[in-house]
Structure 1
Amino acid sequence: FFSPSCKVLKPDFFFFSLSSMNSSRPKCVDEVAFQEEVVAVLKKSLEGADLPNLLFYGPPGTGKTSTILAAARELYGPELYRQRVLELNASDERGIQVVRDKVKNFAQLTVAGTRPDGKSCPPFKIIILDEADSMTAPAQAALRRTMEKESRTTRFCLICNYISRIIEPLTSRCSKFRFKPLANQIQEERLLEICEKENLKYTKESIAALVRVSEGDLRKAITFLQSAARLNVDKEITDCAVIEIAGVVPDKMIDNLLQICFRGTFEKLEVAVRNMVDEGYAATQILTQLHECVIEQDLSDKQKSTITEKMAVVCKCLSDGADEYLQLLSLCSVIMQEASHN
């Protein structure tokens, strides 16, 4: 969903600044990548200059915010865009008072149906509530009434990662669209376009590594590419550099840990876990990669379910702030115990 014009090698920042992030977004709905169903519906709505209330949900970095911003730009043009679109993100205060004041006041304003360039545009405004699943339940309940009352002058677009955290009265008032994680080929094409436009030196392995570590999140892939480019100025970007930047644990270390769990002693296991934690690898990342490897191992379904159940407990403990070393050691002990039954 990002167009390949983002300045990867711009020297005065390390990660995306707000302006470069916005410049890398698509300017029209046709430029949105991979989300064919959403694009088709939006194009029909744009042709008829009418739009239902929308609810976009799906994993991060798949183009939800970019899609509605591109549609708004097409509807209103650059002159009216700032007047007709109110965007509130999770970083803004969005409690019940904001819904009652800011959102309600903006929704009540009526607007004309023509643009300064003479083209017709819809006589309604758009309120975009990004990361709506982080809104409080009272704020969502207040929004329900506003959405119903101001339907003549305003359209709402709710964007979230987890649709289950949006109350039912809101979801029933919106057309729902699920955004899929981007396919590997689509990500690869966009990354290669960026590399060509920015004159970056890269290897096929490095692009494959970017796609693998980003897991369908194109924003994450572009951020990793930018970081790798900054670290390897005038040098070729390698897959090792990408893996290092992404904080992914090398496959060799994960395999070694599993081999100790299956055939080693507890003393060796203790040393291996300590080394991984001391190396600075995130316990959640180790947990994710261990899960992928355990599922592929030659274990019974009962053994796999016992291990994955323990993984769920460890994941909850880690999110609550538990000690990483002790939690990983606890998990690996269960893997060792289950493997001893084989």
Structure 2
Amino acid sequence: MASILMQKSQQADQYEKERLEHTPWVEKYRPKNLDDVAAQDHAVKVLKKTIESANLPHMLFYGPPGTGKTSTILALSKQLYGPNLYKSRVLELNASDERGISIVRQKIKNFARLTVSNPTKDDLENYPCPPYKIIILDEADSMTNDAQSALRRTIENYSSVTRFCLICNYITRIIDPLASRCSKFRFKSLNNDNALNRLKYIAEEEHINLNRNEPVLEEVLKISGGDLRKAITFLQSATKLNNSLKGAQDLEDEDVQMLGEEGETNADGTITISSVREIAGVISDSVINEIAEVIKAKDHKRIITEINEIILQGWSAQQVLDQLHDKFILDDQINSLAKNGIAKTLFTVDKRLNNGTDEHVQLLDLCLQVAKIL
């Protein structure tokens, strides 16, 4: 009997190990409790106090993507209920998928009115288990105004047995009557120290072979722009690419060297800044500098040639736009009047790209308009 139990335990451990191997790192390293949440000190301190009293208000989390809003409420819920009660006490919905008034009247209302399940003795000993459920509405700013108005009444009617947590990027899109019923928590973009420590921890856990002569993780954070989720995804993608190239036994030495020169990996199998930039779709500085010089020279034929080359290589027009913005707006040699004109042109082209216009035409128009301003 003991041997059978041991065998089952080993099989369960093996299954869990395989499951984690195939889990995206964003989910694998999602904070398990509030202490693991990086950078959001104010929100974490307040929420820890609410856990002690077990009297949670309705909450509204807002801030940029990838700053830990969903992770924080999930970690809080697990600390409140534990693994057994969590499934029956917490309802997580993505309001961008189910954003109409019908979802409020049906799924949310039905869950909110349910009586609270009784915790076991073990649950009560290890977790606070307060007598209410939690409904998490992710991307609540995409809900229609009618749905938000209906939600307001649901929050009022069932507040004795249900707490709501609304998560959004833009608080201005939440109607005032709904926002005033919630305790607001602003999540700011992660600073480099907190995010860097998290990336270092992941790199150690996954045994990532980083180039020690380059600030690779700092470059990952710079490219991701304070979005830790994006940074972790870039790091995982770069690692997978590196491992696949390292494991290709049939590559000749010269082929491996060629890949290193193109910026995808080093011949010694380490992840470099250039490999991270390649994964993230960031255009090399030499290419951007060349486009900028051609624009300043007002050479229309070379401008057309350069843009044709950019399109043929498959670079994103939005990425070209972002990097040209930094190149021109941060250039001290260009006067303020010219910068204003360039900025206006960049904004106009950005709007057109977001509306789905042709990338090739818009890039050509951008370069010619900027050349005219300079």
TM-score (norm 2): 0.83
Per the TM alignment, residue 330 of structure 1 is displaced from its structure 2 partner at its CA by: 1.3
Aligned to 1:105: 110
2:96–2:142 Cα contact (<8 Å) kept: no
SS in 2 for 1:104: helix
Aligned to 2:373: 338
User: Equivalent of 2:194, from 154, 170, 186?
Assistant: 186
Higher relative contact order (CA 8 A, sep 6+): 1
Q: In structure 2, do the counterparts of structure 1 residues 11 and 125 end up closer, same or farther at CA, with 3 Å as the change threshold?
A: closer
Per the TM alignment, residue 258 of structure 1 is displaced from its structure 2 partner at its CA by: 1.0
2:345–2:370 Cα contact (<8 Å) kept: no
SS in 1 for 2:357: coil
Aligned to 1:71: 76
Deviation beyond 3 Å, 4+ runs, structure 1? 9-13, 20-23, 112-116
Query: Would you say 1:258 and 2:292 are equivalent positions?
Result: yes
Query: Would you say 1:216 and 2:212 are equivalent positions?
Result: no
Distance 2:334 2:182 in 1: 45
SS in 1 for 2:103: helix
Distance 1:316 1:286 in 2: 14
Query: Would you say 1:198 and 2:220 are equivalent positions?
Result: no
Query: Would you say 1:95 and 2:105 are equivalent positions?
Result: no
Per the TM alignment, residue 183 of structure 1 is displaced from its structure 2 partner at its CA by: 1.1
Deviations 1:135-167 (A, max 9, x none): 122111111111122111111111111112212
Query: Would you say 1:310 and 2:318 are equivalent positions?
Result: no
Q: In structure 2, do the counterparts of structure 1 residues 10 and 237 end up closer, same or farther at CA, with 3 Å as the change threshold?
A: farther
1:133–1:166 Cα contact (<8 Å) kept: yes
Per the TM alignment, residue 176 of structure 1 is displaced from its structure 2 partner at its CA by: 1.3
- Paired letter, 2:41: E
Query: Would you say 1:49 and 2:54 are equivalent positions?
Result: yes
Aligned to 1:228: 238
- Which shifted more, 123-132 or 205-214? 205-214
Aligned to 2:249: none
Distance 1:115 1:318 in 2: 56
- Paired letter, 1:321: G
User: Equivalent of 1:124, from 132, 138, 142?
Assistant: 132
SS in 2 for 1:327: helix
1:77–1:115 Cα contact (<8 Å) kept: no
**Identity fraction in percent:** 50
- Structure with higher helix content: 2
Aligned to 2:12: none
User: For the aligned residues, what is the CA RMSD?
Assistant: 2.0
Unpaired runs of 5+ residues, structure 2, are 1-15, 247-268
1:115–1:121 Cα contact (<8 Å) kept: no
Per the TM alignment, residue 283 of structure 1 is displaced from its structure 2 partner at its CA by: 0.8
- Paired letter, 1:229: T
Aligned to 1:3: none
Distance 1:220 1:284 in 2: 17
SS in 1 for 2:215: helix
SS in 1 for 2:185: strand
- Which shifted more, 119-128 or 316-325? 119-128
SS in 2 for 1:98: helix
Q: In structure 2, do the counterparts of structure 1 residues 205 and 195 end up closer, same or farther at CA, with 3 Å as the change threshold?
A: same
Distance 1:216 1:223 in 2: 13
Aligned to 2:280: 246
Q: Which has the larger radius of gyration?
A: 2
